[in-house]
Structure 1
Amino acid sequence: MVFLGLLSLASFFFAFCQAAVTWNATPFNPSSIPLAVRTPYLSTWLPQGSGSALNAVWAQHWTGQTVGWAGFIKVDGTAYSFLGDPRISAPFQKATQKSMQFTSTQSVFVMSAGPVDLTVTFLSPVEPTDLTKQSFPFSYMALSVTATDGNSHSVQIYSDITAEWVAGDITLPVNWSTATGGTLVHQVQLQNQTVFAEATDRALYGSAFYATTSASGVTYQSGEDLVVRAQFVNNSVLLNTADTGFRPISERWPVFAFAHDLGKAVNSTPSTPVVVSVGHVRDPAISYIIAGGQLQDRSSYFWNQFSDISDAITSFTADYANALARNTKFDAQVQKDAVAISVDYAAIVALSIRQTMGAMEITISKNSDGSFNTTDVLVFMKEISSDGNINTVDVIFPAYPLLLYVNPLLAKYLLAGLFEYQATGQYPNKYSVHDLGASYPRAIGHNDGADEPMPVEESGNMLIMALAYAQKSGDNSQLTTYASLLDQWTQFLIADSLIPESQISTDDFAGSLANQTNLAIKGIVGIKAMAVIAGILGDTEKSQNYSTTAASYVTRWQTLATSPDQSHLTLSYGDSASWGLSYNLYADKLLKLNLFPNVVYQMQTNWYRGVQQSFGVPLDTRHTYTKSDWSIWTAAVMTDTNARDAFISAVKKTAANGLSSQPLGDWYETKDGKPEGFRARPVVGGHLALLALSSQTASPVNSSSSPSASAVDVPSGARNIAVPLPFSWLGQLLRRGSWSGLRFPGVLEPPQRSVSRIFVLHNSARIS
């Protein structure tokens, strides 16, 4: 996770002295509000700084590049802008923003336009138990109008997107088309595309889509921004025409627009929502290395149910009411679970979920006959705004609590690609790989072994995550299949984790360091995790040996890592004046290992009370900055609620301080709350660490046998988890819909991965 300097302080000060918040913001006004956030390329936000209304600035991709999204409403002939910051010669006023509220899946604005209120709902669905829905790279905007003066009014609504949705380089030429069937669909793409390529973190292939349901009173138009927008403002209707003069994005800025006439009887009853959907689709989505160095094209999971993108768009657009109901229920459950910890915590969690889910894509491969293999599911995550790597182990690790909370099956699929690649023997190092590829969306591995070296970090992470998934799901298939690989990493940790040689950890921006106390914690927990894994797999002798080793390491570690006055853990052995966040203790609690004595937790709780700064506890004594994910992980291991809540409130205070205009950052100064540079990263899934602790843990299920009714627990709350099951059970489950108290989502998830895709570990290729 090398910090590349891409997100400089200059971009931070993009906040450009925005006006203070004048609307009711619930639960608070964040640095940037998620609008359409579903994938690394469909990631659209409203920058805030100290406050910007929905119609005061342009929406932005997470990179900070403008993605034009404009909206007008006409009320009794008077035009008001409600979205974006368009400039046209035709006369219009600006609607006044009255409120903004965000939940885990929605951002809702209420805009006053003369005698009516316009409610603008941005819904980026989070559907973790339905792989088809979760994998569809589309988001909704819904518009509903209510009269506020007791009278009826004539109302028309307009919205458009620009070609900026397909690239950050506005000099690139684009072409487009409009389909006019039951669903109106604008499609725009680069004229010259390069598959699996990026420029400035934007895909150089694929298409942006803007769609709405065709009906009486709905019109469309594509063309120059000034012309098309003025057409609506002046005439309340569009011309149902298409511009055919293909050109660069910035040349007479082509826009793709819809207008909806709500009629003359809009009154105090909210109007039926006008729904538009927006998306960015690539196929294939990911290039993935398999055995023998071959590269496999992988497609988004939804393609297995739709042969045509227009059918998928139609289905998605028509499903808005149901999607809203499902996601509102999800929001309510998350809120209930999180607010039980604290109000501040619930606010942080709500802002973190879309950001994390929007960094991932769910994919499948094809069979030899061209059909989709729905038993071969891999999830890929982009390391947004730092390296841009794909499936970075130490980025997945902090994000993992969210996946364990919403559906552990996603956690399994996210690890699966890492396991499969290393099991082919192509990666030469004896420790775990750092990532699956240097640049998203190319998961092409590191056959030269020259990935960023984090040997203890990544080996410990993989062992911890593998056991955490098995504990939460009751599915031991990954442990069984990759037992040799897990054992190999454990052997490395035994040799190198008690007294780690100079190396970097996940906090690589802080530099390398020898004898890292916190890194040693991770290695020791990893060894103990393997002891538990060996026990699950029936190897009692190995389990006992590893357990004894881990216990002896803890005793020796306490002597090495505790300051002479017994007041705190040091940052590195022997440096009594140093200290840091001991966030790796969280894994001991998550896995319920009880490996580290309570005196360590109590000592750290007492210590952090005395070193708290205005915006939190520093990451360590080398700098005054901290990270929000590790702050929440540390909060989760505090021994009293006051200490826990001090960490939580500091993270919320930073998120709400108005000093940034970027999507939620995880790295910032504790003295003044200013961001250090990261934005929109999936590591904020770590903010759900407390929820992952409180969710239930399943009893083990032997993956080689049929599951028993008592063997599977469904986590509490919103997590109707989908447990991988053998095909022989599928018919029974479909007939019965539920089985001995186990609840299933509306769409059953695919069974466990096909054995035919498991590769043999070639030990001879892994000798170093």
Structure 2
Amino acid sequence: MNLFACLSALLLLRSALAAPSWSATPILPGSIPLAVRTPYLSAWLPQGGGQALNDVWPQFWTGSALGWTGFVNVDGASYTFLGNPNAPHSQKAVQKSFEYTATRSIFVLSAGAVDVTVTFLSPVEPANLLVQSIPFAYMTVSVASTDGRSHDVSIYSDISAEWVSGDDNLAVTWGTYQLNQIVHEIQLNAQQPFTEVNDHIQHGSAYYAIENDGDVTFQTGADQDVRNQFALNGRLANTQDTNFRAINNNWPVFALSKHLGTVGSSAVPTTFAIGHIRDPLIEYVVAGGTVEQRSSYFWSQLNSPASVIDYLFQVYPASVKAADQFDAKIKADSLKISANYAAITTLSVRQAFGATEISIRKDSHGNYDTNSTLVFMKEISSDGNVNTVDVIFPAWPVFLYTSPVYGKYLLDALLQYVATGLYPNKWTVHDLGSSYPRALGHNDGNDEAMPVEESGNILIMALSYTQKSKDLSFIKTNFQYLDQWTQFLIQDSLIPELQISSDDFAGHLANQTNLAVKGIIGIRAMAEIANLVGDTARRANYTSIAASYVQKWQGFATAASRQHLTLAYGQDSTWGLAYNLFGDKLLGLNLFPQSVYQMQNDWYKAVINPFGVPLDTRNTFTKSDWTIFTAAIATEPAVRDSLVSAVVNFIGGGHTDAPFPDLYETGDGRAYGFRARPVVGGHLALLALM
């Protein structure tokens, strides 16, 4: 057994010893996605040592509690299946299993003589902008008898007002309306558009809904009162509490229940929809410095929250079918690499898309213009910036794999700002604003300076989008700026000045080997872009420059031992993950010689730790996105698989209870604060190469 296999076996044993009594498929992650659709609809179930669905409260991505409760009443006896309400008249159902796919998290619990299957579906349909733009998720509860007898069953669920603010001391109002659905609507009394508190938006409304068919009841009121009403009676009182108050003042909850009647061995489902709508969605600076207020894409076809919710229930069967197809595809494609790889990719998709929102503006007649579509991404957890280029770039593989045009809409938001002429620097902008959801640009040019990093990123993404989509419009429209940034890279990428890279937390460094790779690939990418638009002179010039830079770079960047690349030129004892070589493979350039890839491949064998290869010699931590980028360019399947296994060992080993952190120690698996970030889209790097 080789070193990689020994490490993997040891860590899997450690994980098994800490495993809960119920089964987890494919692995048990640190945090389980429940309703993950936008930066503000992002509910998770923390794990760590293995918490059942009814052991703890769901959490917002930051770790703050979100009240979300579920009960099933079986022949008069009440069982909790969701949340931790400590209800005196209810006992806990017993979790039997958990499974996740790319779009769903599925729990099976035993409640007396019935099994309760709870399926959380967060649709991922980036090619369907209407569905993808709706900030709602589904919870379907199915009940079936397990003892061969029929039972009288009712289902209950509520949410708290914690879904509308990051400050539980603030006052909220609410209401309930009945149309095709029964819908609870909750909002802050004092709305603050475009403002966050503890990363929660302070604007808009939360909604909780169920189809208004059969024996459906509702109630609003203090948490214990409402839950006891159901536990003791199996139904709600159809009453509304109108004593509007603070979120934490007798904790108002918003409950729905359905009497299923007699339930046998055939599963009987009930579906709830949960969401958060705000309008306007985002501020965005346009030509002349004017700030426009943009709305969610779905308003182009749906004209009210009630119509949104009605549409959600209408398309639910189609959403399930689409989820089935998407889940099957990503699993099958990932299994071509390994089961471990499938465990990573399927966990990453909802998190990546959950940082994005699709926007449109109104035209001069006040009509929503779908031709103005832009996608905005929040740099969740690490900074809160809008459309950070070096956050979009590591996430880029998930967009190339699922819907390249979705990625283009992210780039369009950046390039349209640059085209206003408001940004003064000769390199590309780092982000569109320092605080989501205000995309107000950096007209003073004082954004975080990553000139080589971001310019190279944009060029690589521009060409890869064009190659995948066969659409030349993006590079034609933005040719002027792409060429401008190439001119900068020619000046500064072979020997990069003192600056930071995407790994800004590691600090400034001059002559970064890996950063130079990014810039050189960017130059060569522009040669291909020029060729695609018929500019053969530029193609020849940039191709020649890039080739000459590679030769010089090899002399600068290779350690005297000839065993590895250095972290920075001339620092022979240093090294790092040369993950930027992924761009060469992604674009099919074959710019860097195979000997460089083989040298690095062999070096990683010698320096891998239990949870991966350190990012570089300045620290012992690593990043999961760059680890998978590196795995994608490994020259041996054994090295590729070892890097993939290291990521699985971290996220499945009980080392964190946060939504997939991407920064952690390679020695002990200790995670840092990078939780729930969209960069996990980079875990699909091997799929983007298919």
Shorter-chain TM-score tier: over 0.9
Contact in 2 for aligned 1:118/1:146 (Cα 8 Å):
yes
Q: 1:19 to 1:544 in 2, by over 3 A?
A: closer
In 1, distance between residues paired with 2:180 and 2:197? 35
4+ runs of 1 displaced by more than 6 Å?
A: none
Contact in 2 for aligned 1:144/1:274 (Cα 8 Å):
yes
In 1, distance between residues paired with 2:503 and 2:521? 18
Contact in 2 for aligned 1:19/1:52 (Cα 8 Å):
no
Structure 1 counterpart of 2:95: 97
In 2, distance between residues paired with 1:159 and 1:338? 35
| 1:345-364, Cα deviation, whole Å (9 max, x unpaired) | 00100000000011000111
Choose which of 550, 570, 587 in structure 2 pairs with 1:554: 550
In 1, distance between residues paired with 2:397 and 2:24? 27
How far apart are 1:216 and its partner, in Å? 2.2
The one-letter code sitting in structure 1 at the alignment partner of 2:250 is: R
For 1:459-498, list aligned pairs within 5 A: 459-498=455-494
Is the aligned partner of 1:633 residue 2:604?
no
The one-letter code sitting in structure 2 at the alignment partner of 1:213 is: E
In 1, distance between residues paired with 2:187 and 2:326? 34
CA-based RMSD: 0.9
For 1:444-463, list aligned pairs within 5 A: 444-463=440-459
In 2, distance between residues paired with 1:433 and 1:364? 22
Structure 1 counterpart of 2:242: 244
Choose which of 156, 159, 168 in structure 2 pairs with 1:158: 156
Structure 1 counterpart of 2:7: none
| 1:442-480, Cα deviation, whole Å (9 max, x unpaired) | 000000001000000000001110111000000111111
In 2, distance between residues paired with 1:407 and 1:379? 13
Choose which of 373, 383, 406 in structure 2 pairs with 1:377: 373
How far apart are 1:577 and its partner, in Å? 0.5
The one-letter code sitting in structure 2 at the alignment partner of 1:30 is: P
In 2, distance between residues paired with 1:121 and 1:176? 27
In 2, distance between residues paired with 1:88 and 1:429? 59
Structure 2 counterpart of 1:135: 133
How far apart are 1:674 and its partner, in Å? 1.0
Contact in 2 for aligned 1:211/1:317 (Cα 8 Å):
no
| 1:172-198, Cα deviation, whole Å (9 max, x unpaired) | 000001011121110000000111111
Contact in 2 for aligned 1:213/1:318 (Cα 8 Å):
no
Contact in 1 for aligned 2:527/2:542 (Cα 8 Å):
yes
Q: 1:19 to 1:191 in 2, by over 3 A?
A: farther
Structure 1 counterpart of 2:259: 261
| 1:492-535, Cα deviation, whole Å (9 max, x unpaired) | 00000100011000000000100000000000000000111111
In 2, distance between residues paired with 1:169 and 1:22? 36
In 2, distance between residues paired with 1:154 and 1:247? 36
Is the aligned partner of 1:534 residue 2:533?
no
| 1:316-366, Cα deviation, whole Å (9 max, x unpaired) | 023222211110111001100000111000010000000001100011110
Structure 1 counterpart of 2:49: 50
Structure 1 counterpart of 2:412: 416
In 1, distance between residues paired with 2:489 and 2:321? 47
Structure 1 counterpart of 2:670: 674
Structure 2 counterpart of 1:64: 63
How far apart are 1:661 and its partner, in Å? 0.8
| 1:253-284, Cα deviation, whole Å (9 max, x unpaired) | 00000011011x2111111x100000011111
The one-letter code sitting in structure 2 at the alignment partner of 1:420 is: Q
3-state SS in 2 of match to 1:379: strand
Choose which of 504, 525, 535 in structure 2 pairs with 1:508: 504
In 2, distance between residues paired with 1:413 and 1:319? 25
In 1, distance between residues paired with 2:278 and 2:464? 32
Q: 1:244 to 1:19 in 2, by over 3 A?
A: farther
For 1:425-444, list aligned pairs within 5 A: 425-444=421-440
Contact in 1 for aligned 2:355/2:677 (Cα 8 Å):
yes
3-state SS in 2 of match to 1:505: coil
In 1, distance between residues paired with 2:276 and 2:20? 31
Is the aligned partner of 1:545 residue 2:563?
no
Choose which of 173, 179, 201 in structure 2 pairs with 1:175: 173
In 2, distance between residues paired with 1:472 and 1:450? 34
How far apart are 1:22 and its partner, in Å? 1.3
Choose which of 197, 203, 210 in structure 1 pairs with 2:208: 210
How far apart are 1:312 and its partner, in Å? 1.0
3-state SS in 1 of match to 2:579: coil
In 2, distance between residues paired with 1:212 and 1:660? 34
Unaligned 5+ residue runs, structure 1? 1-17, 695-768
Structure 2 counterpart of 1:715: none
In 1, distance between residues paired with 2:407 and 2:225? 48
In 2, distance between residues paired with 1:469 and 1:693? 13
The one-letter code sitting in structure 2 at the alignment partner of 1:78 is: A
In 1, distance between residues paired with 2:571 and 2:523? 25
The one-letter code sitting in structure 1 at the alignment partner of 2:230 is: F
In 1, distance between residues paired with 2:230 and 2:197? 34
In 2, distance between residues paired with 1:288 and 1:69? 34
In 1, distance between residues paired with 2:120 and 2:424? 46
Structure 2 counterpart of 1:563: 559
Structure 1 counterpart of 2:220: 222
For 1:715-726, list aligned pairs within 5 A: none
In 2, distance between residues paired with 1:24 and 1:334? 22
Contact in 1 for aligned 2:56/2:84 (Cα 8 Å):
yes
In 2, distance between residues paired with 1:95 and 1:88? 12
Contact in 2 for aligned 1:275/1:320 (Cα 8 Å):
no
Choose which of 280, 284, 289 in structure 1 pairs with 2:285: 289
| 1:399-423, Cα deviation, whole Å (9 max, x unpaired) | 0000000010001101001001011
The one-letter code sitting in structure 2 at the alignment partner of 1:57 is: V
In 2, distance between residues paired with 1:245 and 1:184? 20
In 2, distance between residues paired with 1:372 and 1:98? 48
Contact in 2 for aligned 1:87/1:226 (Cα 8 Å):
no
Structure 2 counterpart of 1:708: none
Is the aligned partner of 1:39 residue 2:38?
yes
In 2, distance between residues paired with 1:380 and 1:610? 41
| 1:632-675, Cα deviation, whole Å (9 max, x unpaired) | 00001111100111100001111101121110010000001110
How far apart are 1:129 and its partner, in Å? 1.1
In 2, distance between residues paired with 1:378 and 1:128? 13
| 1:92-134, Cα deviation, whole Å (9 max, x unpaired) | 1100000000000000000100110000000000011100000
Unaligned 5+ residue runs, structure 2? 1-16
3-state SS in 2 of match to 1:584: helix
In 1, distance between residues paired with 2:533 and 2:322? 38
- The percentage of counterpart residues that share the same residue type is 58
Is the aligned partner of 1:622 residue 2:618?
yes
Structure 2 counterpart of 1:646: 642
Structure 1 counterpart of 2:147: 149
| 1:298-323, Cα deviation, whole Å (9 max, x unpaired) | 11111101111101111102322221
Structure 1 counterpart of 2:185: 187
Is the aligned partner of 1:78 residue 2:73?
no
3-state SS in 1 of match to 2:502: coil
3-state SS in 1 of match to 2:537: helix
Structure 1 counterpart of 2:607: 611
Structure 1 counterpart of 2:316: 320
| 1:110-167, Cα deviation, whole Å (9 max, x unpaired) | 0100110000000000011100000000000001111110000011110000000001
Structure 1 counterpart of 2:194: 196
The one-letter code sitting in structure 2 at the alignment partner of 1:129 is: A
For 1:577-592, list aligned pairs within 5 A: 577-592=573-588
In 2, distance between residues paired with 1:683 and 1:648? 16
In 2, distance between residues paired with 1:672 and 1:654? 9
3-state SS in 2 of match to 1:610: helix
In 2, distance between residues paired with 1:230 and 1:320? 31
Contact in 2 for aligned 1:20/1:52 (Cα 8 Å):
no
How far apart are 1:368 and its partner, in Å? 1.1
In 1, distance between residues paired with 2:317 and 2:107? 18
